[in-house]
Structure 1
């Protein structure tokens, strides 16, 4: 069930070019040239990272997703896609940036995961995380995809501090997505939204992104954090 739910999101987000671009615009200012991506899935963001960075190592636990990502990145210099469990790996290389988009909530011991990623960052390297926000939105759509939790700024900051990262920069993202998640997950108890809703939302991104660039939302469906290794 979890694999099917993840595949639904990855395949639909593969087509959501505007939404992916909006997310990528949030992390672009913090990217270095040597990047480790944890939980690359089918390569939706690996493709974008490869366009901006000189070296990208992308890791995923699912063999089929890794195969799909390798296919999409075939022939792209400086990109390596690995089938591996990031929670068990010992990294031999140091990176400017570690990117983890909608992955931390899938890991039971999030603090240990954050702590282990610190070991593969260069001094002043940045850890970029995007997680689902607002605990009260937790619903069957979270459960079926394997989310252990949703976060707010306090709980995410607490996890970062326990992992010896101090004062991460945080901001909420996509306030307009809250009603849809609440309706589908909390009210209708769906395990995934209708695919056409994802397409409609993608079409609205230019308006939504412009609005949030002018007025920073006080809450959002997602939460970004960027922490610097001292």
Structure 2
């Protein structure tokens, strides 16, 4: 993994307000059994462990898996696995299906995003939910995206087309975190940075309750991220 990816995972590990805000968006769609694809160092796996009866967390990076396992060692309802979920031999590894499959800021790292989403359907029971968070606004693509390994940022139309092509018709899609746009634009597009300053992440985390309060009561016309939820038919 790149230094930029490690920067984000380690700094967001401390961003409790932001992580809880992200998790609040997906909580209504989870169900009791969840597979998390691309768990990293377990920043969201620890939250899944508190709300799900059974969770499987998967990541291809052995060092991140080791960190996640250490953090989840006291949670018997969570199993952390090192695997490359894009490899076809993993598609028949589990006897039971899941209520939901969750990918938070993972899909943009995958070159063939449609193929991955299509394959994840195999892990869902009928009526199960595929829950995805991705970076939004294609015009905002910058050195920060490139350094972290993003193939793309998404528009609503492109994300909807990706879900439809993968067999998840008419997904529910919404913007998230409008307040994060100026910082990403200034750091990435104006300054050409590959990561923001650590102090910026901490300040943003402190301001999250205000941003969350605004987005809870007002329509969000745009945002730094997009969520999509598709249902297996």
- How many residues align structurally? 229
Match of 1:103 in 2: 106
Q: Residue 155 of structure 1: which of 158, 161, 168 is its match? A: 158
Deviations 1:191-212 (A, max 9, x none): 0000000000000000000000
TM-score, length basis structure 1:
0.98
**Structure 2 residue 140 is the aligned partner of structure 1 residue 141:** no
Deviations 1:58-100 (A, max 9, x none): 0001100000000000021111000100111213331000000
Q: Residue 187 of structure 2: which of 184, 207, 216 is its match? A: 184
Gaps of 5+ in 2: none
Q: Which segments of structure 1 move beyond 3 Å, counting only runs of 4 or more?
A: none
Match of 1:227 in 2: 230
Distance between the aligned counterparts of 1:38 and 1:215, measured in 2?
Answer: 31
Gaps of 5+ in 1: none
**Structure 2 residue 133 is the aligned partner of structure 1 residue 127:** no
How far 1:216 sits from its partner (Å)? 2.1
TM-score, length basis structure 2:
0.97
Match of 1:27 in 2: 26
Distance between the aligned counterparts of 2:154 and 2:15, measured in 1?
Answer: 24
Matches within 5 A, 1:63-74: 63-74=62-73
How far 1:3 sits from its partner (Å)? 1.9
Distance between the aligned counterparts of 1:127 and 1:160, measured in 2?
Answer: 9
Match of 1:90 in 2: 91
Distance between the aligned counterparts of 2:11 and 2:38, measured in 1?
Answer: 17
